């Protein structure tokens, strides 16, 4: 007979590391035979529609040192602003675009990198369009709960100025922590965990 579980207390929280790669990216750390390739390693195919871009940067601690054992996940819409998955009510997203990726920081340089496309704008819950952006989720040793943030595009100044979420940030100077700086087809985006220029993080 099933046992009632209402008397049990919540399990204490624990950090994601130092074993985060074993569960999420075993091939990256030399553990074979789990997956043929680490999940989330590629967002694109040769049939993916949209402008190809690279996103690269580092996750920095309070001493401006790179966090070399972090794993970052990226979630975004396709080039028309549609998300992959059955909960997307506005139409079918590009079947040749995953919409989700996972990358580990380089253990020597701390640099992460995603090869993806520039996303289209998506609606806010009230119907207003949000500026093009990607969502990032960060885990590493010492981080109890994964951190959520966004990267917006420096070449979308007008859309950024009207973005419903960015308008909710009380200190306008903090918005700069969410803007990826574009040079050609490369977006540079560092995430700062602490300090004067700490990146804005979101509850969800």
pLDDT at residue number 20? 84
Q: pLDDT tens-digit profile of 50-104? A: 999 999 999 999 999 999 999 999 999 999 999 998 889 999 999 999 999 999 9
The Cα-based distances of 20 to 3, 73, 102, 139, 177 in angstroms read 32, 13, 12, 8, 26
Neighbours of 175 (CB within 10 A): 17
Please compute the mean of the pLDDT values over residues 11-37 and round it to a whole number: 81
CA geometry: angle 80, 159, 94, nearest 5 deg: 10
Residue 23: per-residue pLDDT: 84
pLDDT over threshold 50, residue 1: no
Q: How far apart are CA 84 and CA 91, in angstroms?
A: 10
Question: Strand 111-117 relative to strand 133-139: parallel, antiparallel, unpaired?
Answer: unpaired
Q: Which residues share a beta bridge with 51?
A: none
CA 168 distance to own-chain centroid: 20
Nearest to 202 by CA among 160, 151, 157: 151
Domains, the chain: 40-192 (2.60.130.10)
Residue range 115-141, pLDDT digits in tens: 999 999 999 999 999 999 999 999 998
pLDDT of residue 14: 63
Give the residues across from 109 on adjacent strands: none
Tokens of 186: 């490369």
Q: How far apart are CA 3 and CA 80, in angstroms?
A: 49
């Amino acid at each position: 007979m099933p046992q009632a579980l209402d008397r049990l207390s919540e399990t204490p929280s624990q950090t994601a590391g130092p074993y985060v790669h074993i569960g999420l990216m075993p091939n990256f750390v030399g553990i074979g035979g789990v997956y043929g390739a680490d999940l989330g390693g590629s967002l694109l195919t040769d049939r993916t529609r949209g402008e190809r871009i690279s996103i690269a940067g580092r996750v920095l601690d309070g001493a401006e040192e790179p966090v070399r054992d972090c794993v970052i996940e990226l979630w975004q819409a396709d080039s028309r602003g549609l998300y992959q998955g059955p909960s997307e009510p506005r139409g079918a997203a590009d079947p040749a675009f995953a919409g989700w990726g996972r990358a580990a920081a380089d253990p020597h340089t701390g640099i992460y990198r995603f090869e993806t496309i520039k996303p289209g704008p998506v609606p806010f819950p009230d119907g207003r369009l949000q500026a093009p952006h990607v969502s990032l989720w960060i885990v590493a040793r010492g981080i109890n709960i994964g951190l959520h943030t966004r990267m917006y595009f420096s070449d979308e100044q007008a859309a950024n100025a009207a973005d419903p979420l960015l308008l909710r940030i009380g200190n306008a100077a903090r918005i700069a922590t969410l803007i990826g700086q574009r040079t050609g087809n490369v977006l540079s985006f560092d995430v700062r965990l602490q300090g004067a220029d700490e990146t804005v993080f979101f509850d969800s």
